[in-house]
Amino acid sequence: MTKGQQFAKIMRSNLGIGARTRRFRKGVDLHAQIIECVRNATYYPGCYTGERAESFQAAFAAQVSYTKHITGGRADVSVITHTTTLTPWQLCALLGDMVDAGITNVGEGERFFADMARQLTAPAA
C-alpha cells in the first residue's frame, strides 16, 4: 500500500467516510473537515498520534497546493469544477494521488492540476 493510499484509508476511517457519503453531513462540509484534519496534524503536534499523524503530515504539501489552486481559484475552471463535485471519498483519493505523485510544494501542485486539466479536456478516443 502506497503512502497516498494509506492516507486515504486513514482519513476515511478518521471521519467515518464511506463510498456513498455526501459532501455535506448535517450542515458540515466534509471537504473542509478533511483539509482541517491535515492542518491540525501539522500545526498542532499531538493532535493525532502514531501512524495517523505521520500520514496526515505527509499530505500537508498536497493540502496546501489543493487549497491554493482549487479554493483559491488558480487552477483551470474544468479542474475546479471537477474537484468541487467530488465526494469526500474521492477527495481523499485525490489527495492521496497527490501524495503519491510526490507533491512537496505549490509549484509541483500547479503542474499536477495542469496535467489534470489536460486529461479532463482531452477528446475522448
pLDDT digits (tens, 9 = 90+) for 45-104: 999 999 999 999 999 999 999 999 999 999 999 999 999 999 999 999 999 999 999 999
Separation of alpha carbons 49 and 46, rounded Å:
6
List phi, psi (to 5°) of 116: -65, -40
Domain total of the chain: 1
Rounded to a whole number, what is the largest CA-CA distance in the chain?
A: 49
Boundaries of domain holding 100: 3-121
Separation of alpha carbons 68 and 98, rounded Å:
14
> What value does the mean pLDDT of the chain take?
95
Separation of alpha carbons 70 and 47, rounded Å:
26
Q: What is the pLDDT of residues 26-52, one digit of tens each?
A: 999 999 999 999 999 999 999 999 999
| pLDDT score for 124 | 63
Coil/strand/helix, residue 58? helix
| pLDDT score for 125 | 56
Grid coordinates representing 11?
Answer: 482519513
Q: What is the pLDDT of residues 7-16, one digit of tens each?
A: 999 999 999 9
pTM higher than 0.75 for the full model?
yes
